[in-house]
């Protein structure tokens, strides 16, 4: 698995290899000829390191999806990742606090956790991530999401708008 990724891509069980090829193709179409893509060891999950801005990748993928939906045969979701840290509460708290500077004073937020291969509880992760964020919480309709994606010993974090996640199935319909 890549140690430094900035895209997290989900697929259906058994299609990890096909998704790697599809992601490589899609990223090369939008101008990244130096992309690195690898399976994670988690069923249905692939990581990619693009030289492009991961948020711009989502926008360009969305355009491709609208114009040529058949290009997405295996990819289900694409999530931009801003920072990778070791999976421990101190690192998660520090990084979440740093990234939270992207949340404006008048904006609301929530913490979303996806965890794989860790004994840490979701409750304790959410608590440490939100501790130093002095903004209003909105669990239903937040302006920003503090996203924490744990894959064993590595944790990817981002502060995103809900629209920053490309959900292929939802956007096709």
Q: What is the mean pLDDT of each run of 10 residues along the chain (173 residues)?
A: 96 98 98 96 97 98 97 98 98 98 97 97 97 96 98 98 96 86
Q: What is the pLDDT of residue 1?
A: 87
Nearest to 165 by CA among 81, 71, 73: 81
The pLDDT, as a whole number, for residue 48 is: 98
Model confidence, pTM:
0.95
Longest dimension (CA), the chain: 44
Supply the Cα-derived Rg of the chain in whole angstroms. Answer: 16
Q: Can you give the pLDDT at residue 68?
A: 96
How far apart CA 153 and CA 96 sit, in angstroms, is 17
Question: The dihedral of CA 115, 118, 121, 124: what is its sign?
Answer: negative
pLDDT at 130: 97
pLDDT for 119? 96
- Which domains, and CATH codes, for the chain? 7-82+162-172 (3.30.70), 83-160 (3.30.2130.30)
């Amino acid at each position: 698995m890549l140690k430094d990724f900035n895209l997290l891509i989900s697929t259906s069980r058994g299609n990890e290899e096909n998704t790697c090829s599809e992601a490589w193709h899609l990223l090369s179409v939008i101008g990244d000829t130096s992309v690195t893509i690898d399976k994670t060891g988690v069923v249905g999950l692939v990581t990619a390191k693009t030289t492009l801005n991961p948020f711009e990748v989502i926008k360009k993928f969305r355009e491709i999806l609208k114009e040529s939906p058949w290009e997405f045969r295996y990819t289900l979701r694409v999530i931009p990742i801003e920072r990778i840290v070791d999976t421990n509460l101190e690192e998660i708290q520090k990084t979440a606090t740093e990234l939270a500077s992207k949340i404006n004073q008048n904006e609301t937020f929530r913490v979303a956790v996806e965890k794989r291969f860790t004994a840490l509880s979701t409750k304790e992760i959410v608590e440490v991530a939100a501790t130093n964020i002095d903004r209003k919480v909105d669990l239903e309709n937040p302006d920003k999401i503090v996203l924490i994606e744990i894959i064993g010993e590595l944790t990817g974090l981002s502060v995103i708008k809900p629209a920053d996640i490309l959900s292929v199935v939802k956007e096709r319909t």
